[in-house]
Chain A
Amino acid sequence: MIAKAPRLSTGLAEELVRIVGDDAVITDPARLMVYESDGLTAYRYPPRAVVLPQDGDETARVVRAITAERVPFVARGSGTGLSGGALAVDGAVVVCTARMNRILELDLHNRRARIQPGVVNAHLTAATQPHGLYYAPDPSSQSACSVGGNVAENSGGPHCLKYGVTSRYIRGLDVVLPDGSRVYLGDRGLDTGELDLAGLFVGSEGCFGIAVEIDVELLPLPQATHTLLGIFERLEDAGRAVTAIIADGLLPAALEIIDQATIRAVEESIFAAGYPTDAAAALVVEFDGIEAGLEAEAARAEAACLECGAREVRRATSADARAALWKGRKKAFGAMGRIAPDLLVQDATVPRTRLPDVLAEIAQIGARYDLKVANVFHAGDGNLHPNILFDRRDAAEMERVELASKEIMRICVDAGGTITGEHGVGLDKRDYMSLIHSDDTLRAMESVRRVFDPAGLCNPGKVLPDRIRGMDPAGAGAVEAESARATVPAGAA
C-alpha cells in the first residue's frame, strides 16, 4: 500500500523555510522515506514534506502556511504508533514534534510539569525521579514514544491497571487548532465548570490540532515495589489467577500475561529471560506503594496463583531481580522478529472475566487460518494484544492475516469488549468502528471533529469510516438520507 505524494509548491516550501529554517524542512524523497510509515509497517504513505518546528509559535505559523494552500497536515511524534495514526494520507505535510523536546517547567510544589510534546515519555520520568516524582503512564514504547503522541492516543501501559491512562494525568493543553489559532484547553486543574475539552482532545488521534505545550501531573514515586512471576501449565489457569487476585480485593500495579508462543520467542532470542519454554503462560504481578503492606499483598497473590495451578511462583524486590522477571514481558515484541519478518500487533479489550474464553477462541482462529498468534497482554485490564506473525511478501498469507484480524475483532466485540484498548483507531481500524458504534454515534463524533477542523485538513482519513466523514451530523432528514444510502448494496447505483 504505497501511495505517491504530490509535490510541495515552491511558494509553500519557501514560506516553511522562512518560518523554521532550511534544516527543518525535509522535501528530499529519500529522506522522506523515514516518515512514510509508523509502527504499523503494513501501510506506507510518503508525506509531501516534513516540517520540524521548535515551539508553539512556529507550529502555529507552519499550520497557517500549510492550510492557507488547502494542503492537509498531520502531526507526528516519535512514529511509534501502532494504528497508522500519523501516516500522511492525502499527500499531507508531516508536522513532526521531535525538536519540541524541552521540559519547560518543573513545578515540584504542585507536582506538575509543563513540557513540549516531543519530550520522550521515559525522559520525563528520568527528569523528575531525582525529585521523588514520576510520570505514571508507561506505554511499552516509553523509551522512544513522545508524550505528545501519548496525548493523541490516550496511551496506556502495563501500570495503568492501578494508575489509569494518559487522560488522568493531563491538566491542560496549549493547542494549535487546525486553522492555526492557539487555544488553551483544560483548566490547569482549576475548577471552572467548562466542558472538558482537554479530556476530549486527549485520544483524538491528532484530528483536532497539535498540542504544543502540555501540563502534566506527576505522582510521588512509590516507596517500594514487589514483583511476582507465576509459571502456568495452562493459559486459562493464568487467566483464572488474574480473576482470583482481583476477587481477593487486591489492586496490583500491573497484571501481565505472556503465552507460550511468546515465551519461546523470547527464550530463543538474545533477550532470553529464563522463563521455562514448556510453560503455557507466565503471569507478571506487581505491587507498589508503601513498603509495609507489600509483603502481605504479594503473599496473597502468590497463594492465588498456586491455587489456580501455578507450578512455580518467583518473587523479587530488588530492582535487578525485578527487571529479570519483567524481561520476558518487556522484550516480547523485539523477540518476535526471530519468528517472522512481520508482526501485526493487535489490540482489543474484553471484560476481564471473559479472557479465558476469548483466548481459546483466538487460538482456534489462528489454527483455522494457519497463522502464528502470540499473546502478550495487560490481563488485569482485559486488554489483549494477539500478535499475528507473518511475511508480507506472501500475498495469500497477508489475506489470511486480514481475515483472522477481522474475526478476532468480532469475537472481542461479541464478548462485550471493544476494538482498541490503547493503540487507537488510526487508519487501521476505521472500518471496525461500526462494530461497536451506531451511525448516530459516529456522526456525533464527526460533527465534533468538524467543530475543531471545519476545513477537513487536519489528519485526514483517520478514525472515522470514509462514509461518515463529511456527513451532516444531525437533523432527521440527513440521518434518514444517510442510512438509506448505507443500505444500498455496493454497485446497485
Chain B
Amino acid sequence: MSVEALEDASAVRDDEGGKEPVDGEANPGDARAMNGGAAAVGRATEAGGAPVVAPQTVRELSNLMARASRDGRQVRFIGNATSLPPGYLDGPVDLVVSTRALDTVHAYDPADLTLTADAGVSLGQLERVTGDQGQWLPLDPPARARRTLGGVLASGAYGPLQGKFGTPRDHVLGLTLVTGDGRVLELGGRVVKNVAGYDLVKLAVGSGGRLGIVTSATVRLHPLPVRDVTLLYQTPRLALTVVLARSLATAPVRIPALELLAGHGEEPTVAVRLLGSPEAVAESERILNARVGRNASRRLEGETSVRWFAALERFEDDAAAVARVSHLPSRLGDLVEPAVECGTVAAHVSLGVLRVAVSGPGASAAVVSDALTRLRDGVAQAGATFRVSRANTPRWPAPEPATAPGVLALTRGIVDSFDPAGVLSRPAS
C-alpha cells in the first residue's frame, strides 16, 4: 500500500468530514466480519491493499485486536498518515487501523494545564482549543498541524522546541494503549508528577506501533509566551555558520529552539527562537548578539516569528527521503559538511541531530538511494548514527543502525509481552 493512498484517505476526512470512503472501498460486509464489527472505511488504491478500518470506540478496537491476534492477522496503525516510517505498510498487511474516528477532546482544564484527547485529534485542532485559553502544547514535529496526537506519540516525533520543552515523552502524563492482543491498558495518569509503578508510558511513546495503539492521551500544557522572537543569523560560509551555531548553543542562556539550515537556497542560516517575557527575551537577545559579536541578519517578532518556524515544520514535506543523522552536539561540524553534499539540512543544534531532506518529489529511486548511500558513508566516518525516517522509494541501501545484542533481547522480550502473536511487526530478520 502506498503512503499517497493513505494521505488521500486522510484528505477525504479533512475536506469532507471523514464520512466518504476512499477509492477501492472494501466490501463492508467482509471487513466487518473480520474486524470485530468496525466498519471499513477504505482500501488503498493499489492492488492487494489492505482494508482501512476506523473503530469508533476503544472497546471495538480491543475486540478487533483480540480477534486479529487470535487469527494471526498482520495489523498496522495510521493517524493522518502524514509521516509513516518507510516500509511500515510494506509486505503482507491484512488490516490497517485508522484512529480517524477517535477524534474527541475529552477533558480540558486550563487551570490544571492538562488536556485529555483521543488519538485521532490533530495537533492543529489542539492548537485551536488551547490557544483560546492562552495555552499551548509546545511540540512542533514535522508536519505538526496535520499530524494526530496518536501518531506523534507513536513516532516520538519532535521538532526545534525540544531544546526547551523536550520530546513527546516529556509532554505525556498518561495514555490508553490497546495492546497487540487487545488488552486495554491505562498507563500513567492525569497529574504532572506520578511514579506509581514502572513507566510504561515512556515505553509506549516512540514505540512505533510495535506494542499497540495509543487511543487517547493526557498531555501537559504550557502558557503561551508573551513574546516570541526569531533571530536569523546568516553567513556566506558554512564552516562559519557552524561555529556561530555552536557558540550560541554554549551561551549561558537556555534557548528554546536553535536550528541550523544549509543547502536551502539561501546562505547558511542559524535560527534562534526566544520565548518568554518581553524583558527576558530582549536581554537574551542582547547576550546572544554579544556572544557572537554581531546582530542577527533578520529579526522576526510575534506572528512572523511563529510563521517562520511553522514553515520549518514543512521542511520534510516535499522530500523524496529524509535521513536523520546524530552525534554529540559538539560534532556538528563533522556532519554538516557531508550532509549538505547530499541534500538540504536542518539541524537541531543543541541536540546534535541533523535532518537531511534528499531530492524533490519526482526524484528517481536510483538518485535517492545514491544520495542516501553517500550520506550514510560520509557521516559513518565521523561515528554518527544514521537512519532513514522517510522515503518514497521502496528500497534504499542504508541499513538501520545496528542494535546491541543486549538491547535487542530486551526489546524483543518487551514487544512479545505486548504483542504475543506478533501481529504488529514482523520479527527482525
| CA gap between A158 and B191 in the complex, in Å | 16
Contacts A203-B199, A290-B280, A437-B186 known; A184 to B407 CB distance under 8 Å? Answer: yes
Query: Scoring B residues 49 to 80 as 1 if CB is less than 8 Å from chain A, else 0, what string do you get?
Result: 00000000000000000100000000000000
Most A CB atoms within 10 A — which of B251, B281, B330?
A: B330
* Residues 178-205 of B contacting A (Cβ, < 8 Å): 179, 181, 183-187, 189-200, 202-203, 205
Min CB–CB distance A109 → chain B (angstroms): 4
Interface assignment of B263: CB less than 8 Å from any CB of chain A: no
Contact B223 A383 (CB under 8 A): no
Contact B280 A200 (CB under 8 A): no
| CA gap between A334 and B330 in the complex, in Å | 44
Residues of B near A425 (CB, < 8 A) are 195-197
Min CB–CB distance B348 → chain A (angstroms): 9
- Tally of chain A residues near chain B (CB < 8 A): 98
Residues of B near A191 (CB, < 8 A) are 324, 326, 351, 353, 385, 387
Identity of the chain B residue whose Cβ is nearest the Cβ of A250 in the assembled complex? B223
Residues of B near A461 (CB, < 8 A) are none
9-residue interface stretch from B24-32, B35-43, B111-119, B291-299: B111-119
Min CB–CB distance A210 → chain B (angstroms): 14
Most B CB atoms within 10 A — which of A297, A383, A451?
A: A451
Contacts A204-B199, A353-B109 known; A290 to B253 CB distance under 8 Å? Answer: yes
Interface assignment of B283: CB less than 8 Å from any CB of chain A: yes
| CA gap between A24 and B326 in the complex, in Å | 41
Interface assignment of B309: CB less than 8 Å from any CB of chain A: no
Contact A417 B351 (CB under 8 A): no
Contact A351 B109 (CB under 8 A): yes
Contacts A189-B352, A203-B195, A293-B283 known; A417 to B406 CB distance under 8 Å? Answer: no
Contact B109 A110 (CB under 8 A): no
Residues of A near B280 (CB, < 8 A) are 289-290, 292-294
Contact B202 A200 (CB under 8 A): yes
Identity of the chain A residue whose Cβ is nearest the Cβ of B201 in the assembled complex? A199
Contact A223 B224 (CB under 8 A): no
Contacts A181-B406, A194-B403 known; A418 to B191 CB distance under 8 Å? Answer: yes
Interface assignment of A350: CB less than 8 Å from any CB of chain B: yes
Identity of the chain A residue whose Cβ is nearest the Cβ of B225 in the assembled complex? A249
* Residues 313-350 of B contacting A (Cβ, < 8 Å): 324, 326-330
Most A CB atoms within 10 A — which of B113, B191, B208, B415?
A: B191
Contact A132 B252 (CB under 8 A): yes
| CA gap between A196 and B312 in the complex, in Å | 26
Query: Scoring B residues 100 to 113 as 1 if CB is less than 8 Å from chain A, else 0, what string do you get?
Result: 00000000011111
Contact A448 B203 (CB under 8 A): yes
Contacts A193-B208, A448-B200, A451-B414 known; A247 to B111 CB distance under 8 Å? Answer: yes
Residues of B near A197 (CB, < 8 A) are 203, 407, 410-411
9-residue interface stretch from A2-10, A44-52, A159-167: A159-167
Contacts A185-B407, A190-B352 known; A445 to B198 CB distance under 8 Å? Answer: yes
Contact A189 B406 (CB under 8 A): no
Contact B197 A463 (CB under 8 A): yes
Option from A182, A188, A220, A452 in Cβ contact (under 8 Å) with B252:
A220
Residues of B near A184 (CB, < 8 A) are 404, 406-407
Q: How large is the interface on B (under 10, 10 to 19, 20 to 34, 35 or more residues)?
A: 35 or more
Query: Scoring A residues 247 to 291 as 1 if CB is less than 8 Å from chain B, else 0, what string do you get?
Result: 101110000000000000000000000000000000000000111
| CA gap between A58 and B189 in the complex, in Å | 39
Most A CB atoms within 10 A — which of B192, B198, B203, B329?
A: B198
Min CB–CB distance A223 → chain B (angstroms): 7
Interface assignment of B304: CB less than 8 Å from any CB of chain A: no
Interface assignment of B125: CB less than 8 Å from any CB of chain A: no
Contact A350 B191 (CB under 8 A): yes
| CA gap between A196 and B205 in the complex, in Å | 8
Residues of A near B224 (CB, < 8 A) are 249
Residues of A near B266 (CB, < 8 A) are none
Interface assignment of B207: CB less than 8 Å from any CB of chain A: yes
Residues of B near A399 (CB, < 8 A) are none
Identity of the chain B residue whose Cβ is nearest the Cβ of A444 in the assembled complex? B185
Contacts A438-B186, A474-B417 known; A199 to B203 CB distance under 8 Å? Answer: yes
| CA gap between A417 and B66 in the complex, in Å | 31
Interface assignment of A318: CB less than 8 Å from any CB of chain B: no
Min CB–CB distance A373 → chain B (angstroms): 20
* Residues 87-104 of B contacting A (Cβ, < 8 Å): none
Residues of B near A293 (CB, < 8 A) are 276-281, 283
Contact A290 B387 (CB under 8 A): no
Interface assignment of B21: CB less than 8 Å from any CB of chain A: no
* Residues 176-231 of A contacting B (Cβ, < 8 Å): 177, 181-185, 188-197, 199-200, 202-204, 207, 219-221, 223
* Residues 151-187 of B contacting A (Cβ, < 8 Å): 156, 166, 169-170, 179, 181, 183-187
Identity of the chain B residue whose Cβ is nearest the Cβ of A417 in the assembled complex? B191
Min CB–CB distance B26 → chain A (angstroms): 28
Min CB–CB distance A423 → chain B (angstroms): 7
Contact B222 A251 (CB under 8 A): yes
Residues of A near B353 (CB, < 8 A) are 190-191
| CA gap between A271 and B420 in the complex, in Å | 57
Option from B195, B207, B281, B385 in Cβ contact (under 8 Å) with A420:
B195
Contact A292 B410 (CB under 8 A): no
Residues of A near B210 (CB, < 8 A) are 195
Identity of the chain A residue whose Cβ is nearest the Cβ of B182 in the assembled complex? A476
Min CB–CB distance A3 → chain B (angstroms): 24
Contact B185 A440 (CB under 8 A): yes
Identity of the chain B residue whose Cβ is nearest the Cβ of A109 in the assembled complex? B330
Residues of A near B181 (CB, < 8 A) are 474-475
Residues of A near B186 (CB, < 8 A) are 437-438, 441
Contact B191 A195 (CB under 8 A): no
| CA gap between A197 and B415 in the complex, in Å | 12
| CA gap between A111 and B329 in the complex, in Å | 9
Query: Scoring A residues 411 to 428 as 1 if CB is less than 8 Å from chain B, else 0, what string do you get?
Result: 000001111111111000
Identity of the chain B residue whose Cβ is nearest the Cβ of A165 in the assembled complex? B193
Residues of A near B184 (CB, < 8 A) are 440
Option from A182, A251, A351, A452 in Cβ contact (under 8 Å) with B191:
A351
Residues of A near B326 (CB, < 8 A) are 189-192
Interface assignment of B418: CB less than 8 Å from any CB of chain A: yes
Interface assignment of A381: CB less than 8 Å from any CB of chain B: yes
Residues of A near B279 (CB, < 8 A) are 290, 292-293, 295-296
Residues of A near B352 (CB, < 8 A) are 110, 189-190
Interface assignment of A168: CB less than 8 Å from any CB of chain B: yes
| CA gap between A417 and B173 in the complex, in Å | 12
Interface assignment of A433: CB less than 8 Å from any CB of chain B: yes
Interface assignment of B366: CB less than 8 Å from any CB of chain A: no
| CA gap between A156 and B192 in the complex, in Å | 11
Interface assignment of B378: CB less than 8 Å from any CB of chain A: no
Contact A154 B195 (CB under 8 A): yes
| CA gap between A442 and B253 in the complex, in Å | 42
Min CB–CB distance B57 → chain A (angstroms): 17
Contacts A190-B326, A290-B276 known; A196 to B197 CB distance under 8 Å? Answer: no
Residues of B near A108 (CB, < 8 A) are 250
* Residues 221-239 of B contacting A (Cβ, < 8 Å): 222-224, 226
* Residues 352-371 of B contacting A (Cβ, < 8 Å): 352-353
| CA gap between A154 and B112 in the complex, in Å | 22
Contact A196 B202 (CB under 8 A): yes
Identity of the chain B residue whose Cβ is nearest the Cβ of A438 in the assembled complex? B186
Interface assignment of A469: CB less than 8 Å from any CB of chain B: no
Interface assignment of B83: CB less than 8 Å from any CB of chain A: no
Min CB–CB distance B132 → chain A (angstroms): 14
Contacts A353-B109, A422-B195, A433-B197 known; A473 to B417 CB distance under 8 Å? Answer: yes
Interface assignment of A76: CB less than 8 Å from any CB of chain B: no
Identity of the chain A residue whose Cβ is nearest the Cβ of B191 in the assembled complex? A349
Residues of B near A221 (CB, < 8 A) are 252
Option from A109, A202, A292, A423 in Cβ contact (under 8 Å) with B283:
A292
Q: Can you give 8 contacting A-B residue pairs, CB < 8 Å? A: A192-B401, A195-B203, A220-B253, A289-B276, A352-B112, A416-B191, A423-B195, A424-B195
The 7 closest A-B pairs by CB, nearest first: A293-B280, A199-B202, A183-B406, A451-B413, A292-B283, A249-B223, A293-B277
